[in-house]
Every structure is written in C-alpha cells, then in structure tokens.
C-alpha cells in the first residue's frame, strides 16, 4: 500500500498516481490533497492523527514549500512503515506517532521499532517545481517494490542520522492550576479550532473562559443548542473551540497560530 498526502489540490495528484501505477501494482490511498498550502506544521499534526491507523504502508507526503532548493528528499523507516517526504520538518512528528512515542520524544527511544533515515538522490528530477511527481512518487514506488525492510539497499539512497533531520515540534501549552495558555494548532473543515491545551484540563469543568469569554464545556457538540459556542475535547485529545453546527473559528475569532488562554470558572 502507498498513501499519498499533499497540499496540491487538483489535478497535480493525478500525475503522482500515474507515476506510481506505471512503476508498481501498489494499492493507492489518498489521505488528503487539501492540507493547508505550505503549512508543514498543520500537515504533521493531521498525519499524526491519521497514519497510525493504517496497516504497514509507504506514506508519500509532499507539502514542500522549499521544492527545488537544497532541502533534502528523505525516506524514514519506522518499523514496517516508510515515510517518503521532503526534509522540512514534516517527517519526524509523524515518525514518532508511528513509533508510538509522545511528541518531542527522541526516536532513539523507539525500542520496539526499527527507525532509520536515508537521503534520496534527486539530482535527475525532471522539474525543479514538481518533485511530488519527479522525486517522491517514484521513490515511494521503489520502496514499495523492494520492501520497506530493504530500503537501505536501494540505489540512490544514502543512510543518514535521524537526529540530523529537520524537526517540527508542535508547541506545548502551559498549564498552571485553573489557567492554560496555548495556541490554535489547526482549524478543521468544520471550523473547529483545535488548540494545544490538553483535554484533561477540562475535567469536571462546566464552563471556562476562552480569552475572557465565558463558554460552556460539553462532551458533544449537541450539548448546546444549534449555533451556540462551546469547548470540548476532540478525538485528538486536545481542547477545541467549537460551535454546534457552525464555525468555531469565526465565533471565537481564532485562526491557526493565535494565542488562547483558557481558564476554569
């Protein structure tokens, strides 16, 4: 299996699919091609929440604002999974998630997984602006063909130290007593503003203030009438600022990167 993820929208992913299908018979799964444009951090967040649910696969991830520059193309093996991506920070958070580690933990602590990294020779790329088609899709097909365990023996890859790869560590909130200070990590397509405040902060709370505005705490969106604000704990385990059948980002005036102060009432 090969999964494909990008910020390309359409029709560019079709070219990547064509390249893979021309080279191997892998089952292809599109995770999403609608990740926020050029947003490495948001892509890493969502892939951490998605890829661990897949069976062993080759995961081709192309959110690549540095395409054509001297940033490396890499393959990172995590157990029976392989990540094929630009070395711009998107890889290591997802590798930790696949290894069952907490954010920020060294991959050297992955005691039950084989973790290894390789730099890909991309000197022959046909285009300096579309490495998804010319570098990452062909590399994903090759990894699928030789097998993840044998990626180190592939022609055109060179072993490197995982610790030398660019890291993108998602920021942690500061929690002191009844006050948590964090930020919005992402906003999903429903308008739910996902913060980095841990969901446990809401334990036993009936209401909180978000940047000074009092709102109820609910276990479900339907805990409040349609159109009203609430905070809840999302499936990712973080505090969300939401609206029942509406957009939390608009109601709370929040966007990715905005600061959030949550206080228990």
pTM: 0.95
| Over residues 17-28, mean pLDDT | 98
How many CB atoms lie under 10 A from the CB of residue 77?
24
User: Which pLDDT belongs to residue 104?
Assistant: 83
| Over residues 203-226, mean pLDDT | 97
Three-state DSSP at 107 gives helix
Residue 62: which residues within 8 A CB-CB, separation 6 or more?
Answer: 4, 5, 6, 7, 8, 16, 85, 86, 131, 132, 136
User: Which pLDDT belongs to residue 201?
Assistant: 98
Task: Render pLDDT for 82-114 as a digit per residue (tens, 0 to 9).
Answer: 999 999 999 999 999 999 998 888 898 888 889
User: Which pLDDT belongs to residue 111?
Assistant: 82
Task: Render pLDDT for 150-180 as a digit per residue (tens, 0 to 9).
Answer: 999 999 999 999 999 999 988 999 999 999 9
Proportion of the chain above pLDDT 90, given as a percent? 94
User: Which pLDDT belongs to residue 109?
Assistant: 85
User: Which pLDDT belongs to residue 126?
Assistant: 94
Q: How many CA atoms does the CB half-sphere of 85 hold within 13 Å?
A: 34
Q: Are 157 and 120 in contact (CB under 8 A)?
A: yes
Q: Are 49 and 79 in contact (CB under 8 A)?
A: no
Task: Render pLDDT for 181-190 as a digit per residue (tens, 0 to 9).
Answer: 999 999 999 9
Q: Where does the pLDDT of residue 233 fall: very low under 50, low under 70, confident under 90, or very high at 90 and above?
A: very high
Q: Where does the pLDDT of residue 67 fall: very low under 50, low under 70, confident under 90, or very high at 90 and above?
A: very high
């Amino acid at each position: 299996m090969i999964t494909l993820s990008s910020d390309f929208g359409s029709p560019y992913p079709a070219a990547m699919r064509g390249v893979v299908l021309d080279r191997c018979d892998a089952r292809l799964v599109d995770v999403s091609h609608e990740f926020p444009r050029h947003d490495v951090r948001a892509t890493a967040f969502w892939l951490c929440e998605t890829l661990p649910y897949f069976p062993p696969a080759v995961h081709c991830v192309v959110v690549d604002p540095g395409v054509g520059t001297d940033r490396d193309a890499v393959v990172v093996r995590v157990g029976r999974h392989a990540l094929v991506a630009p070395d711009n920070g998107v890889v290591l958070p997802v590798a930790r998630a696949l290894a069952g580690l907490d954010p920020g933990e060294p991959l050297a602590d992955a005691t039950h997984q084989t973790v290894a990294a390789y730099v890909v020779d991309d000197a022959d790329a046909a285009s300096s602006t579309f490495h998804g088609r010319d570098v990452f899709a062909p590399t994903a097909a090759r990894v699928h063909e030789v097998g993840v365990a044998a990626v180190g023996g592939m022609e055109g890859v060179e072993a490197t130290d995982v610790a030398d790869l660019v890291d993108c560590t998602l920021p942690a909130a500061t929690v002191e007593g009844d006050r948590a200070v964090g930020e919005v990590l992402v906003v999903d397509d429903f308008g739910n503003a996902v913060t980095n405040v841990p969901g446990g902060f809401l334990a036993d709370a009936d209401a909180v203030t978000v940047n000074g505005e009092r709102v109820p705490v609910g276990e479900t969106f339907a805990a409040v009438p349609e159109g009203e604000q609430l905070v809840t704990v999302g499936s990712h385990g973080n505090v969300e600022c939401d609206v029942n059948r509406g957009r939390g980002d608009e109601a709370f005036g929040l966007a990715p990167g905005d600061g959030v102060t949550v206080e228990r009432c």
